[in-house]
């Protein structure tokens, strides 16, 4: 049997950031990962600016383009939301996750890939986990093993109650089509009800996909429809397609029991308006790291973790869920009010880049709603937008 202080199951962003923080504090840990790294992960690979600023690393070597802003379209009108500073960056998840694991290893951590954790047992002085032919004993075990978390099930945490759905694909496009999108993301609200279709530019191709909160839609059909209807996607060649549920928190639930904690998707941390999960995965891992460090060094209780998580993440998820319900459920009203209005769109962009939160955005928007003219129609058509090759100074485009 091999011994360590903390066993971390899963080498996604939550697991590797948690391990990195522990290693920096001089606490020994091991990450056990079922896949051989680097592994493909179904994901748009969009990192918001707040995610980039959260991590103390330079992403220059692995970032695909830096994001300058986004096109948002509905009813064949497109609005360009930019001019709020850098919006984020694009990555491929195999490279990004491998990069984070490298940082953890350089800080003194140990990671074993190709090792699926298949059993977890409490002992009198901690917890035991079996991965392949190895048995590990630790004082604490952390489930960072994603949406379908084994640790969540094995340690009798309740199943996720609130799920969103997304299907991601990679698409080869011609150089001309790739350069027409430039360094902008596209969010298309016509692509699927109660969600959006996305086009994220990568160095030589597009990551595309559909995201919805409504389980009744067949995502493959919706993605095909999106590819047929969007001028940038017609004629592109899909070379990979994979989907997953995205677990959302924001309701009372256990994320820590005795010596077991859940972080990231295993705990249900996805923000329900955009479906962004990496930022909250990192933030939850950070809060878990603080709790574990204080527990092991000063014998403080681990229950501070759920308390802080509730205050710092779940409260924002609750507001984002409310906004998502209103926004996606009433697009004929909410698109002109919230997207085609440059002041409100800029306020929303501030949330995405991490300069405010959903609470601040909602308060700000509600105060201004009475002054927003109904029937206002800014923006340009998709065809115009892409043939003008995204020149932001186009006088018809609504720049926030």
Ligand X SMILES: Cc1cc2nc3c(=O)[nH]c(=O)nc-3n(C[C@H](O)[C@H](O)[C@H](O)COP(=O)(O)OP(=O)(O)OC[C@H]3O[C@@H](n4cnc5c(N)ncnc54)[C@H](O)[C@@H]3O)c2cc1C
What is the binding site for ligand X (CB under 6 A)?
9-15, 32-35, 41-46, 116-117, 144-146, 150, 166-168, 209, 243-244, 246, 264-266, 270, 275-279, 281
46 vs 138, beta carbon nearer ligand X: 46
Distances (CA, A) of 54 to 88, 118, 286, 316: 12, 32, 10, 17
For the CB of residue 333, give the shortest distance to ligand X in the complex, in Å.
27
Nearer to ligand X, 19 or 378 (CB): 19
* Nearer Cβ to ligand X (51/397): 51
**Rounded least distance, CB 246 to ligand X, Å:** 5
DSSP state of 173: -
Please give the Cα distance from 324 to 113 (Å, whole number): 37
Q: What is the number of the residue whose Cβ is closest to ligand X?
A: 277
Q: Could you give the CA distance from residue 218 to residue 221 in angstroms, rounded to a whole number? A: 6
Residue 321: CB minimum distance to ligand X, A: 16
The minimum distance between CB 371 and ligand X, in angstroms, equals 33
Q: What does the longest C-alpha to C-alpha distance in the chain come to?
A: 70
Query: Closest distance between ligand X and the C-beta of residue 309, in Å?
Result: 13
Residues 6 or more apart whose Cβ sits within 8 Å of residue 25:
289, 293, 297
The smaller minimum CB distance to ligand X, of residues 336 and 348, is found at 348
| Least Å from the CB of residue 165 to ligand X | 8
Tokens of 162: 């609130």
Which residue lies nearer to ligand X by CB, 64 or 398? 64
Q: Is the CB of 28 or the CB of 35 nearer to ligand X?
A: 35
Alpha-carbon distance of 281 to 263, in angstroms, equals: 6
Cα(206)–Cα(169) distance, integer angstroms: 8
């Amino acid at each position: 049997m091999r011994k360590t202080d903390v066993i971390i199951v899963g080498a996604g962003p939550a697991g590797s950031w948690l391990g990195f923080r522990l290693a920096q504090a001089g606490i020994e840990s091991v990450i056990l990962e079922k896949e051989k790294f680097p592994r493909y992960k179904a994901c748009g690979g969009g990192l918001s600016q707040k995610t980039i600023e959260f991590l103390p690393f330079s992403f220059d070597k692995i970032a695909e383009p830096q994001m300058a802003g986004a096109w948002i379209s509905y009813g064949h009108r497109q609005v360009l939301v930019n001019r709020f500073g850098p919006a984020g960056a694009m990555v491929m998840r195999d490279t990004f996750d491998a990069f984070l694991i490298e940082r953890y290893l350089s800080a003194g951590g140990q990671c074993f890939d190709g090792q699926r954790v298949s059993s977890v047992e409490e002992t009198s002085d901690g917890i035991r986990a079996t991965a392949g032919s190895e048995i590990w004993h630790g004082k604490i075990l952390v489930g960072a093993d994603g949406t379908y978390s084994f640790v969540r099930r094995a340690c009798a945490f309740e199943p996720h109650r609130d799920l969103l759905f997304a299907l991601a694909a990679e698409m080869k496009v011609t150089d001309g089509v790739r350069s027409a999108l430039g360094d902008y993301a596209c969010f298309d609200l016509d692509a699927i009800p109660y969600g959006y279709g996305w086009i994220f530019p990568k160095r030589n191709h597009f990551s595309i996909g559909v995201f919805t909160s409504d389980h009744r839609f067949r995502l493959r059909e919706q993605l095909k429809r999106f590819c047929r209807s969007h001028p940038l996607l017609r004629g592109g060649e899909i070379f990979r397609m994979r989907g997953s549920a995205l677990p959302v928190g924001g309701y009372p639930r256990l994320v820590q029991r005795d010596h077991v904690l859940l972080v990231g998707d295993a705990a249900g941390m996805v923000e329900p308006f955009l479906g962004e999960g990496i930022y909250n995965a990192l933030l939850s891992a950070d809060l878990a790291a603080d709790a574990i460090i204080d527990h092991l060094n000063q014998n403080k209780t681990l229950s501070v973790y759920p308390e802080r998580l509730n205050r710092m993440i779940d409260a924002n998820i609750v507001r984002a869920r409310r906004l998502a319900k209103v926004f996606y459920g009433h697009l004929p009203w909410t698109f002109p009010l919230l997207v085609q209005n440059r002041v409100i769109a800029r306020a929303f962009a501030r949330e995405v880049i991490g300069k405010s939160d959903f609470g601040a955005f909602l308060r700000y928007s509600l105060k201004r709603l009475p002054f927003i003219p109904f029937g206002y129609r800014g923006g340009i058509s998709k065809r115009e937008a892409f043939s003008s090759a995204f020149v932001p100074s186009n006088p018809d485009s609504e720049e926030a």
